[in-house]
Chains A and B, each alone.
Chain A
Amino acid sequence: MDIKSIFSRLKKLALREVEISRRRPLYLFCMLIAPVFFSFMFIDVMKEGAPHEVPAAVVDEDNSQVSRTLLRTLDAMQETDLTVKYKDFSDAKDALRRGEVFAIVHVPKGLSEKALTQRTPTIYFYTNDAYFLAGAFLFKNMKVLGELSGLAITKSTLSAKGVDEDRIMGLIQPITVESHPLNNPSLNYSIYLTNIFIPAILLLIVFIATCYSIGLEWKRGTQKKWYKDAGENVVVALTGKLLPQTALYMLMFLFMDVYLYKINGFPIACSMIRLLGIQLLATLASQAFSAAIFGILAGQMRMAMSVASLLGVLSVSLCGFTFPVMAMPKLMQAISWLLPLRHYYLIYVNQVLDGYSIVNVWKSFAILVAILALPLLFIKVYEKAFNEVNYKA
Chain B
Amino acid sequence: MKILQICYNEFKEIFADFGIVIFVIILPLAYPLLYAYVYDNEVVREVPVVVVDDSQTSMSREFLRRCDASPDIKIISHATGMEHARTYLESMDAYGIIRIPREFSDDLAEGRQTAVGIYCDMASMMYYKNLMITASLVAQDMNKEIKVAKLGSSTDREAQISASPITYETIAMYNPQSGYSSFLIPAVLMLIIQQSLMLGIGMHMGGTRENNFGFAVPKGDLYHNPVYIYLGKMLAYFVIYLVEAIYFFLVVNKIFVLPQMSSFATYLAWIVPYLIACISYSILFSALVYRREDCIMLFVFLSVPLIFISGISWPISEIPDNWRYFSYLFPSSLGIHAYVRTNTMGATIDDIAFYHWGLIIQAGFYTILSLVFYYWQLKKRKIEE
Interface set of A (CB-CB < 8 Å, partner B): 26, 29-30, 34, 38, 41-42, 44-48, 51-55, 94, 96-99, 102, 111, 115, 118, 120-137, 139, 142-143, 145-147, 149-150, 153-154, 157, 167, 169-184, 187, 189, 192-193, 197, 200-201, 204-205, 208-209, 212, 215-216, 219, 301-302, 305-306, 309, 312-314, 316-318, 320-324, 326-329, 332, 346, 349-350, 353-354, 356-357, 360, 393
Contacting residues, chain B, for A41 (C-beta < 8 A): 305, 309, 323
Say which residue of A46, A52, A170 sits within 8 Å of B112 (CB atoms). A170
22 CB < 8 A contacts A-B: A26-B294, A26-B297, A30-B297, A41-B305, A99-B316, A118-B158, A120-B165, A124-B169, A127-B173, A132-B184, A133-B315, A146-B167, A157-B165, A178-B117, A187-B122, A204-B304, A305-B293, A323-B180, A324-B44, A329-B41, A360-B90, A393-B207
A212's partner among B22, B47, B175, B297 (CB-CB below 8 A) is B297
CB–CB B38/A306 < 8 A: no
A178: chain B residues within 8 A (beta carbon): 115-118
* Cα A294 to Cα B280 with chains together (Å): 33
Query: In the complex where A99-B341, A127-B170, A142-B170 touch, is A170 in contact with B113 (Cβ < 8 A)?
Result: yes
Asked if residues A180 and B120 are in contact (CB atoms below 8 Å), the reply is yes
Q: Report which B residues bind A (CB closer than 8 A).
A: 17, 19, 22, 34-35, 37-41, 43-45, 47, 63, 89-92, 107-108, 110-129, 132, 135-136, 139-140, 142-143, 146-147, 150-151, 158, 160-162, 164-176, 178, 180, 182-184, 186, 207, 210, 259, 291-294, 296-298, 300-301, 303-305, 308-309, 312-320, 323, 337, 340-341, 344-347, 351-352
Decide if B119 touches A121 in the complex (CB within 8 Å): no
Assess whether A133 is in contact with B37, with CB atoms less than 8 Å apart.
no
> Provided the pairs A132-B313, A323-B44, A329-B38 are in contact, do residues A54 and B90 lie with their beta carbons within 8 angstroms?
no
Please tell me which one of the listed residues B118, B170, B180, B183 contacts residue A143 in the complex, with CB atoms under 8 A apart: B170
Tell me if B346 and A131 are in contact (CB < 8 A). Answer: no
Assess the B123–A328 pair: CB atoms within 8 A.
Answer: no
Secondary structure dominating the interface of A: helix
Q: Are B44 and A149 in contact (CB under 8 A)?
A: no
B167 and A122 within 8 A (CB): yes
Bound Cα distance from A212 to B165, whole angstroms: 66
Q: Is the CB of A177 within 8 A of B309?
A: no
B150 to chain A minimum Cβ distance, whole angstroms, is 6
Once the chains bind, are A177 and B116 in contact (CB under 8 Å)?
Answer: yes
Interface pair A175/B309, CB less than 8 Å apart: no
Q: How far is the CA of A236 from the CA of B346 in the complex (A)?
A: 60
The reply to whether A48 and B318 contact each other, CB–CB distance below 8 Å, is: yes
State the CA gap A215–B291 with chains docked (Å).
Answer: 12
B166 touches A45 (CB 8 A): no
* B165 with A150: CB separation less than 8 A: yes
Asked if residues B161 and A120 are in contact (CB atoms below 8 Å), the reply is yes
Q: Determine the chain B residues whose CB is within 8 A of the CB of A323 once the complex forms.
A: 38-39, 44, 124, 126, 180
